[in-house]
Structure 1
Amino acid sequence: MKLQQLLSYTRKAVDDYQMIEEGDKIAIGVSGGKDSLTLLYALKGLQRFYPKHFELTAVTVNLGFEGFDLTAVKQLCEELEVPYHVIDTEIEDIIFRVRKEAHPCSLCAKMRKGALNTAVKELGCNKVAYAHHRDDIIETMMLSLLFEGRFYAFSPKTFLDRMQLTVIRPMMYVPEVDVIGFRNKYQLPVAKNPCPADGATKREYAKQLVRQLNIDHPGVKDRMFHAIVTGNMEGWPLKGETR
């Protein structure tokens, strides 16, 4: 996928769900993975021509894993002229050594988002952009159906009342295969995920299940996504709705 196609996907999502307003200060949650680095390129590219002016800053929550090297990510932010902040935490120590969680992902996600959102507010931002792509949304819906018995997926835009912060997901229309293509084409400096639970989660199970379903029934992912965006799901804004 070329940058032009990425920007087309991003512009459509931003316009469809009114994700960006004049004067917004948007923090990009950068984990160092392919998704968040692609989002960094997408929003920086959009910033250059979007009619509504907005500021960007990149924020990484360092969980505390030994050997997690963000040097190349920092260099990329400098090249793109996006201010970069690393928030050091002891999340890894709390989860794996103090609590010794057998199933750490849910607690880790809550603590990571809490640290990110707090940092974002302290930096004076009113919005934070998460790098969830199209496949993430489909897989979340599958997880909710299988393990919670409800029809749910990440919303394109969510206002967090307690934090007075808006979460946006500008890559919601981007298929993961295109993210992989973008990473390869532009040689993104992906920081290896050091978490021992990586790849051994329910989300990975849902990913493989959706993948197999799409092999057995070509186009099923497209139909799933269509069901999500047209399903009047609780918490989802209508297209064109502002808040």
Structure 2
Amino acid sequence: MKYQKLLSLTRQAVDTYQMIDEGDHIAVGISGGKDSLTLLCALYGLKRFYPKSFDLTAITVNLGFQNLDLEPIKRICRTLEIPYKIVDTQIARIIFEERRENNPCSLCAKMRKGALNAAIKELGCNKIAYAHHKDDVIETMLLSLLYEGRFYSFPPKTYLDQMDLTVIRPLFFVDEADVIGFWHKYQLPVAKSPCPADGHTRREYSKQLLRQLNLENPGVKNRMFTAILNAELSDWPDRIIPDRH
């Protein structure tokens, strides 16, 4: 995927769901993976021409794994002149050594989000951008159907009233295949996750299920996404059709 297409799809999501306001200070959650680095590049490019002025700060919650190399992330942030904050924690030790969790992902996510939100507020940010793309939206819907018995997926924008913080997902209309293409084309310095649970989760199962469904029924992924957009889910913001004239 070329940079221009990434910027176009990002702008579409931002405008459709009114994700960015004048004067926003947006924290960009960086895991080190292809999705979050693509998001960082997308918002950096958008910032250069978007009519509303906003600031960016990249932030990583370091879970405490010894073999996580964040130097490439530091370099790309320096190149883009985006401030980069690393929040050091002992989450990995607590989950895998002290508690020895059999299903670590849920607790890890809660602890990671708590550390992230606290750091965001300290930095003075009013919004946090997550790198969830179109495939993530559909996979979450599948997980909800399979394990919760309801039709649901996370919204493109959410206001957390207890934190006075807004979550935005600017890659909402970007396919994972395009993220992979962007990563390869621009040689983004991905930091491999050292987590022992990586690739062995229910989400990975839903990813493989979606891939198989779309292989056997070409176009089903896009039809699922359209169904989600048209479902009028209760906590989703209204869609605004951008005026292209």
Q: Into which bin does the TM-score normalised by the smaller protein fall?
A: over 0.9
Secondary structure of the corresponding residue to residue 48 of structure 2: helix
Letter aligned with residue 158 of structure 2 = T
Corresponding position: 1:86 with 2:80: no
> Retained in 2: the 8 A contact 1:73–1:189?
yes
CA shift, 1:111, in A, is 1.0
Query: What per-residue deviation string (whole Å, max 9, x for no partner) do you get for residues 110-147 of structure 1?
Result: 11111111111110000000000000000000000000
For 2:106 and 2:174, how far apart are their aligned partners in 1? 25
For 1:189 and 1:213, how far apart are their aligned partners in 2? 31
For 1:191 and 1:115, how far apart are their aligned partners in 2? 20
| Partner residue, 2:113 | 113
Secondary structure of the corresponding residue to residue 128 of structure 2: strand
Identical amino acids, percent of aligned pairs: 68
CA shift, 1:86, in A, is 0.2
1:1-243 equivalent positions in 2, closer than 5 A: 1-240=1-240
For 2:81 and 2:163, how far apart are their aligned partners in 1? 27
4+ runs deviating over 2 angstroms: none
CA shift, 1:25, in A, is 0.4
Query: What per-residue deviation string (whole Å, max 9, x for no partner) do you get for residues 10-68 of structure 1?
Result: 00000000000000000000000000000000000000000000000000000000110
CA shift, 1:164, in A, is 0.4
Letter aligned with residue 40 of structure 2 = L
For 1:81 and 1:224, how far apart are their aligned partners in 2? 38
The runs of 5 or more residues in structure 1 that have no matched partner are none
CA shift, 1:240, in A, is 3.0
CA shift, 1:180, in A, is 0.3
For 1:4 and 1:124, how far apart are their aligned partners in 2? 30
CA shift, 1:161, in A, is 0.7
Question: Which range moves more in the overlay, 28-37 or 228-237?
Answer: 228-237
Secondary structure of the corresponding residue to residue 158 of structure 1: strand
For 1:190 and 1:154, how far apart are their aligned partners in 2? 25
Secondary structure of the corresponding residue to residue 21 of structure 1: coil
Query: What per-residue deviation string (whole Å, max 9, x for no partner) do you get for residues 176-202 of structure 1?
Result: 000000000000000010000000000
CA shift, 1:234, in A, is 2.2
Question: Which range moves more in the overlay, 228-237 or 160-169?
Answer: 228-237
The Cα RMSD (Å) is 0.9
For 2:149 and 2:234, how far apart are their aligned partners in 1? 14
The runs of 5 or more residues in structure 2 that have no matched partner are none
Secondary structure of the corresponding residue to residue 49 of structure 1: coil
CA shift, 1:152, in A, is 1.1
For 1:220 and 1:115, how far apart are their aligned partners in 2? 37
> Retained in 2: the 8 A contact 1:33–1:193?
yes
For 2:117 and 2:185, how far apart are their aligned partners in 1? 31
For 2:240 and 2:101, how far apart are their aligned partners in 1? 42
CA shift, 1:151, in A, is 1.0
Letter aligned with residue 60 of structure 1 = T
Q: TM-score, normalised by structure 1?
A: 0.98
For 1:61 and 1:202, how far apart are their aligned partners in 2? 22
